[in-house]
Structure 1
Amino acid sequence: MSHEKDWNIIMRKNMYSSRSLACALVLCAALLHLSCEDEPTPSLFDPNASEKLNPVITAIEPADSSLAGVGELTIRGQNFSTVPQENLVYFNAEPAVVAAASATELRVKTPNIIADSISIRIAVQGAPLFSSTAWYKLKPAAVILSDLKSPGQDVVKAFGLDVDLGGNIYVSTELNTIKKVAPDGRLSVLKSNASFIRANALKVGPGNVLYVTNVVARLRRISTIAPDGTESVFVSLPGVPQDLDFDANSNIWVTVDTDIYLVKPDKTTARADSYPVTLATLRVYDGYVYAAGKNAATGEAKIWRSQIQGETLGAKEVVLDIAAAPWLVGGDVLSLTFSADGEMYLGTNHPEGTFVLRPDGSHEVLYPGLVAPTVYAMSWGEGNLLFAIQQLSNTSNLIKIDVGKPGAPYYGRR
């Protein structure tokens, strides 16, 4: 009996010891688990950071509108960040690139949105609220004003063009036709069944008479088209006339193969100079005749200028060696014109289309990707609009380009 009692006592002690050991193991495991847990993730909220003031828009320049995708705005106001990336500028829901920033001014590239009423809002990192909304207009930089196709016409090839004081555009197309495009894009025919298949170039002259260069069989000439469509021969020339322009004294300077001729208002003609290339285009600017051309045999291609000295031309000066310009490799200059501030616009068959050559020799592509080649002819209208003939494989377009600046004086519109 005593042995049984001793055995029970031993078993109880072992049970108590086992329970104690189990409790100890559980406690140790819990402590070990707690000690191995990751440190708490630090909060992104800084209780010591001061809240920034909300941005405020006070003015936008240009004031009313700019060009979509290629324009740049200056937004003036308050509480902007001096770090460009911390300023979030939205045109509707489209973010814009902030090119430069100060506390009171942002320089912003316009997104490619075209609309008359676009909301502009700004958020600044660290400020709780957006700015109030400013409303703005973004216009297309370049649009097809007309495909120049008359009803039932599938294919049309266009060449010379010019613009009158009323904003009407005149275009020479194949099939003996001069077309007129109103400022709103309405297309009509000024002259059908002309004696020539096409006019290489045309210019608006005094009295809104068109002067057109053309070839009919062996006849090389400048003809006139009156506002009522009446055609007349103005002068005959010894070679193929390509391009022409008026000077301040109503003289016409015209390219004839490798020469430049002077044609006076009394219709007398004289050769003014010769060149080592076949001349493609010509423009009178700031008392000089500018001419561009290429020698197909030698590859020489240049733009020259010569000062107008009464009824003669001064010595030729090379403005641009086209063949040596790496940015024009593979391209020919087919047309040229000038802005009022002296920048030269070059229409080409280069993949980039149109280039701007500055007086300091620097250059840029005019609106990359917007005006594809070939840019055969260009003419500035009134204001900031440049019009261009875009020749495609089997058709042509009349392109209206807003370049944001006026063209140089043109002496034919009187």
Structure 2
Amino acid sequence: MAPDLTTKASGFYAASEIIAVRVYNGFVYVAARATTSSSVIVWRHPRDAAGNPGAQEMVIDLSATDYGSRTIRGMMFAANGNLYLATDSPDPILNVNPATNNVEILYRGILASYSKHFYWDTGTHFYMIRSDTILGEVWPVYWLMRKLAAALRNQENNDRKMRGKKITTLGLYLCPSFFCHCFCFG
């Protein structure tokens, strides 16, 4: 859609279900599933000066990874160019390095399953709306401080070295007035 609200069809995804769209670093990224396949592929298109999408380039075919059974629910980018994919699975956020096609789980064992939408703010907070497929369920919003999550991962490694000692690394608090769960570390 142009600034004057005119639209122009590209025809790239006429036989696909578009799951998510993002613009990043001069490209339009599209997560799509062909109507004849269950595989989700993330594509990118360079944009010309008028904003028109160019030729389709594959970024990653999720079915070619260990995470091919997951359903993508959303995507966003980090400042370093890594692509984050929200999925409907345990450990719901995948971190994709487009340069290497390396896919890793973000915060393994920390985030609740099934990410519907997620967002990094301009600081250090991560927000995630999660739920399962039950209609009418309240979707709690989770927030997590990135630096503390990294500290937790380091703490888990240290915990293995400190056998027999009890260390509390994660507390879960419910904020009923906002229907949100807050991950806090202590």
Per the normalisation by structure 1, the TM-score is 0.32
Shift of 1:295: 3.0
Flag the 1:373–1:277 CA change in 2: closer, same or farther, 3 A: farther
The question of whether the paired residues in 2 share the 8 Å contact of 1:375 and 1:390 is answered with yes
Partner SS for 2:118: strand
Aligned match of 2:86 in 337, 343, 347? 347
Matches within 5 A, 1:15-414: 263-275=1-13, 276-309=15-48, 310-325=50-65, 327-358=66-97, 359-392=99-132, 393=134, 394-404=137-147
* C-alpha deviation, 1:296, in angstroms: 4.9
- CA distance in 2 between counterparts of 1:328 and 1:268 reads 38
Rounded to whole Å, the distance in 2 between the matches of 1:402 and 1:294 is 33
Q: 1:313 to 1:296 in 2, by over 3 A?
A: closer
Q: Check conservation: 2:91, 2:110, Cα contact below 8 A.
A: no
Larger proportion of strand: 1
1:316 CA drift (Å): 0.6
Change (3 A) 1:385 1:273: farther
Q: Is the 8 A contact 1:330 1:350 kept in 2?
A: no
The CA distance in 1 between the partners of 2:35 and 2:138, in whole Å, is 26
- Structure 2 stretches of 5 or more lacking a match? 148-186
Question: 1:312 & 1:342 partners in 2: Cα distance?
Answer: 22
Structure-1 residue corresponding to 2:181: none
Percent identical among aligned pairs is 25
**3-state SS, counterpart of residue 383 of structure 1:** coil
After superposition, the Cα gap between the structure-2 partners of 1:272 and 1:380, relative to the gap in structure 1 and judged at 3 Å, is farther
Amino acid in the other structure paired with 2:12: S
Provide TM-score, normalisation by structure 2: 0.69
Moved over 4 A (4+): none
Q: CA-atom RMSD, angstroms?
A: 1.7
**Aligned partners of 1:272 and 1:297: how far apart in 2?**
20
Report the 3-state secondary structure (helix = DSSP H, G, I; strand = E; otherwise coil) of the residue aligned with 2:69: coil
Paired AA for residue 399 in structure 1: Y
Does the 8 Å CA contact 1:328/1:350 hold for their aligned counterparts? Answer: no
